Amino acid sequence: MISSSEAHNLVNFRMKHDEAKREHAAIMARARALGIKTIGCAGTVYGCPIDGDVPMAKVLDIVGFYVGEGAETIMLGDTTGAANPMVVRERIGEMMARWPKAKFIAHFHDTRGMGMANVVAGLEMGISTYDASLGGLGGCPYAPGASGNIVTEDLVFMLDAMGLRTGIDLEKLLKVRSIVAEA
């Protein structure tokens, strides 16, 4: 991942954008040589706790870098839970228009209770793959008060309730959650 916010990238990875791009380009070149497909991940796509609003130009720069390096799939990270459905539609719409052949994945946090609403906005835009975590584990140490990722169990429940089949057995998933919680 490269955060669209350079300030976030500096605290999270200790790299400026140019250095992160060099590192990622080398990793992606090695993966291509081995026949391994890569996923490019742009972080802080919807905002940053350090920089605040992240200009769309910075997001497009990072996503464009990954597309240029051959990533067929791009994960759009709401790294700190700053997204809302309106900005999700705007930003995803612009990226899909620029790179119609790219497959986009969405990664949302639920910091402000917007995670599931953001998924619905993403679904409306044609995003079919979401990054989530069991029990909502995760978070960002550089976002005070930020909660974890969207909860896989809640996501599966919501999608099933909407008539979208995930292929995930919710009862079994909840049993796994119990095991994780006990551990």
Q: What are phi and psi of 106, to 5 degrees?
A: -110, 140
Active-site residue 41, yes or no?
no
Please name the residues in contact with 84: beta carbons below 8 A apart, sequence gap of 6 or more: 46, 112, 114, 117, 118
Tokens of 58: 């910075």
Catalytic residue among 92, 134, 140, 146: 140
Axis-axis angle for helices 17-33, 56-68 (nearest 10): 30
User: Could you tell me which residues are beta bridge partners of residue 133?
Assistant: 151
Across the beta sheet with 129-131, the strand order is: 2-3, 39-43, 73-77, 103-107, 129-131
Q: Catalogue the active-site residues.
A: 140
